[in-house]
């Protein structure tokens, strides 16, 4: 098994909007206004359009219950944007600015390594080196010789993205601090040899 540790370089944030009102038109218009302001802010901070995606949109009636009866009192619109932030130095500013621009929820922030291929290659090299060394030691100890390599299998595992959850509150004094820490990428290999 080969292991490589690396610092995450990308964040994905779920930025949410919850809008309530008496009728659907008012709710949708208010929500659209907040959404447009947040998208404008994100683009002004260098977030590419491809990194901004609507991930949820739901409009539902809101009822109040009294003495066994329900009455319609309005509507609730929930909408989420999934935003990929490729510069982790900006993640706190992005979250703070999104809330200041009209978002009222930050449902989660996940940190991950955007392109782990090079790290997987390093872990694979280490795993193969270890496997060859173990095979050579086993053959020497047991008194047989290794023939040719006849099979190679590989498994990969990376630590799952790290998640941070919070409910946004407007008027924050400063941008939230998000620490990336490290993640471990593992590659395990099995080498099968013929014996002489």
| pLDDT for res 116 | 87
Which carries the bigger pLDDT value, residue 172 or residue 196?
Answer: 196
The verdict on pTM exceeding 0.75 is no
What tens digit of pLDDT does each residue of 48-81 get? 999 999 999 999 999 999 888 999 999 999 999 9
Q: What are phi and psi of 134, to 5 degrees?
A: -65, -40
What tens digit of pLDDT does each residue of 28-43 get? 999 999 999 999 999 9
Confidence of residue 163 (pLDDT cuts 50, 70, 90): low
| pLDDT for res 37 | 96
Say which residues have a Cβ less than 8 Å from residue 5's Cβ, sequence separation at least 6: 182, 183, 184, 185
Say which residues have a Cβ less than 8 Å from residue 176's Cβ, sequence separation at least 6: 92, 95, 96, 166
Task: Judge whether residue 185 has pLDDT over 80.
Answer: yes
CA distance 92 to 136: 51
Determine the average pLDDT of the residues in 84-91. Answer: 92
Say which residues have a Cβ less than 8 Å from residue 167's Cβ, sequence separation at least 6: 105, 106
* Three-class SS of 137-167: HHHHHHCCCEEEEEEEEEEEEECCCEEEEEC
């Amino acid at each position: 098994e080969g292991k490589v540790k690396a610092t995450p370089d990308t964040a994905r944030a779920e930025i949410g909007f919850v809008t309530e009102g008496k009728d659907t038109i008012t709710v949708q218009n208010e929500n659209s206004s907040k959404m447009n302001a947040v998208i404008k802010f994100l683009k002004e901070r260098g977030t590419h359009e491809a990194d901004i995606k609507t991930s949820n949109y739901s409009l539902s009636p809101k009822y109040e219950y009294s003495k066994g009866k329900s009455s319609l009192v309005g509507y609730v619109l929930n909408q989420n944007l999934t935003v990929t932030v490729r510069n982790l130095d900006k993640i706190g500013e992005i979250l703070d600015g999104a809330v200041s621009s009209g978002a009222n929820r930050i449902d989660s922030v996940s940190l991950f390594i955007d392109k782990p291929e090079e790290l997987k290659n390093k872990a694979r090299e280490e795993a193969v080196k270890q496997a060859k060394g173990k095979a050579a030691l086993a053959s020497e100890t047991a008194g047989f010789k290794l023939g040719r390599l006849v099979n190679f299998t590989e498994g990969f595992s990376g630590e799952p993205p790290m998640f941070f959850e919070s409910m946004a509150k407007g008027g924050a004094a400063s941008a939230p601090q998000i620490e990336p820490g490290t993640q471990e990428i593992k590659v395990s290999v099995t080498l099968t040899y013929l014996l002489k």
